[in-house]
Amino acid sequence: MAKTLSNCVTDRLTSLPDTLLVEILSLLPFKSAAATSVLSRRWCHLWTQLPHLFLDGPWPRSTNSDYFLEFHQFITTVDHILHQITSHHIQTFHLHIPFPPTLEKDEFDVFSAYFESWIRLICVRNVVKIKVSCDFPVFISPHVPLPSFIFETESLVELELGGNLRCKLPETGIVNLPNLKKVVLIDLPINRSVFKTLFTSSPLLETLSLELDSDSANFELLNISSQNLKSLIIRGKSRHFMFMIDAPTLEHIEIRGFLGIYKFVKLPARLLSADLDISNFSYSRTDYLTHIPELVQGISSVESLNLLNGLAVFNALNTSDLIDLGSVFRNLVHLRLDMTTNEADLGDRNPIPVCLLSKLKKIMLLNIKGNTNDVKLLVYILSKAINLDRLYVSSVYDGNGGDGSEGFQLWREYELPMTMLMVPWSSKIEFDGDCIRLLSNDMSQNGFIVKVN
């Protein structure tokens, strides 16, 4: 009976067309899919038609003295795989190359030749998504040259490059990427001409993500010009960069790391959201103060603002004479503040302008400590946010103050939701703490649900 059932399953698989079998194989990890080649003569070459290729090299292990041999085996394996591939339409090519413990010049040249041939083999197969990361550090080897014909691959929709790759333009100086919609560049050596040409020569570019790792003492000018760009993400060490942004249809911007200089050729009129996480605040640097007003002016039309440094941005703007807070954030309806970073005592200051609070429909205060300063801020916000529809507050206990007991933590958390009772009943409120969770009840009832964790 079991043998008959096994034969039935085998017959069903055999009856399926190759295209469907390849689709089934594409759902497996690449290594497992390739292993099916031993099943029968028919299955021997099915894996070579796979549209998704994920090739990750071995990570170095300090206890493994044979890692260098593993690295060479990885190169040989990748070369063998890519020369076997027969698919005319590669959907995804993901290649991660970890760094070897040592690399002589002749070995580096051999690898570079392999690498160029791999990219060429992929680009001629109408590849849609390319993700290549190379962890070769500069102190071990020079930059790994990225073949320029990658910038002439018309089928390319997504391109992600990371690590010690050296980009250069084709000899013609022309980039032909008519379908490219997403570009992610992580820790690449800065080449302004390549970047500028790449951005301007991709008419459908919608998402651009840059992660910078440059501590140059001189300012670098980086032009970001794209008439169709919707999302711009800049992370890392950017304090020595001046970004000239020409993206009139921008809808989302995210800036994380040390603050550079941001200049907008045209203010984006459709900006929906902005995330700011500025490292300068954590390092008590003051050189950023002159940069913040221009950035804020550029994103002043935003509807949703997420500040991961709590009130630090507002505190900086309040000390600046370069901007009128009443004239910015005219469309803002959603404010999200992460209060993880300890704030200085507010005293009599009200860091968030009344004109701003009065327009907000949704406020989220995350990771507040529940101390006197937090309660004071909450009281101020609730007294001025007259159009508020929803308030969400989460609390974490920092172990400071009191006797450090669970009872003291519970008392702190009790004060916060009691303060939130000031919100009009037409507003939906939620408090999420370590000990207490409070939700506004159904609007047909006058009351709250309180849950002790």
354 touches 384 (CB < 8 A): yes
- Percent residues over pLDDT 90 in the chain: 28
Is 60 exceeded by the pLDDT of residue 330? yes
pTM listed for this prediction: 0.85
Q: Cβ distance 428 to 389 under 8 Å? A: yes
User: Residue 289 in contact with residue 320, Cβ under 8 Å?
Assistant: yes
Highest-confidence range of 22-36, 138-152, 235-249, 397-411, by mean pLDDT? 235-249
Closest CA relative to residue 256, chosen from 237, 230, 229: 237
- 133: nearest Cα among 215, 193, 56, 26: 56
Q: Cα-flanking dihedrals φ and ψ of residue 355, to 5°? A: -60, -25
pLDDT bin (cut points 50, 70, 90) of residue 441 is low
Q: Region 205-229: what's the mean pLDDT?
A: 84
Sheet containing 220-225, strands listed edge to edge, beginning at the edge strand earlier in sequence: 220-225, 241-246, 261-264
**Half-sphere CA count of 90, side-chain side, radius 13 A:** 26
Residue 368: its pLDDT value, please?
86
Separation of alpha carbons 245 and 235, rounded Å = 15
Q: Rounded CA gap, 411 and 403, in Å?
A: 12
CA 254 to chain centre: 8
Q: Could you report the per-residue pLDDT of 282-323, keeping only the tens digit for each?
A: 554 556 667 788 888 889 899 999 998 878 888 777 777 667
Please report the pLDDT score of residue 29 as a whole number: 72
Alpha helices in 235-334 (DSSP H): 292-298, 312-318
| Across 100-127, average pLDDT | 86
Q: Which string of DSSP letters, residue by residue, matches 99-111?
A: PPS---HHHHHHH
* CA atoms of 323 and 314, how far apart (whole Å): 12
For residue 320, give the nearest of 286, 369, 354 by alpha carbon: 286
Tell me what pLDDT residue 204 has. Answer: 96
Higher pLDDT, 155 or 373: 155
User: Any long-range contacts for 238-242 (C-beta under 8 Å, 24+ apart)?
Assistant: 238/212, 239/280, 239/287, 239/288, 240/214, 240/215, 240/216, 241/212, 241/214
Alpha-carbon distance 271 to 251, whole Å? 4
Residue-level pLDDT at 306:
95
Choose between 306 and 36: higher pLDDT: 306
Nearest to 58 by CA among 89, 97, 116: 97
The pLDDT, as a whole number, for residue 427 is: 73
Q: What is the pLDDT of residues 155-214, one digit of tens each?
A: 999 999 998 888 888 878 788 899 999 999 998 887 888 888 888 889 999 999 999 876
Q: How many CA atoms lie within 13 A of 323 on its CB side?
A: 26
Confidence of residue 451 (pLDDT cuts 50, 70, 90): low
In this prediction, residue 444 carries a pLDDT of 40
pLDDT at residue 356, as a whole number: 87
pLDDT at 95 over 80: yes
Judge whether 208 and 226 are in contact, CB under 8 Å: yes
> Residue 37: pLDDT band by 50, 70, 90 thresholds?
low
Mean pLDDT of 60-87: 78
Closest CA to 416 of 387, 392, 445: 392
Tell me, what's the pLDDT at 437?
80
Distance CA 432, CA 427 (A): 16
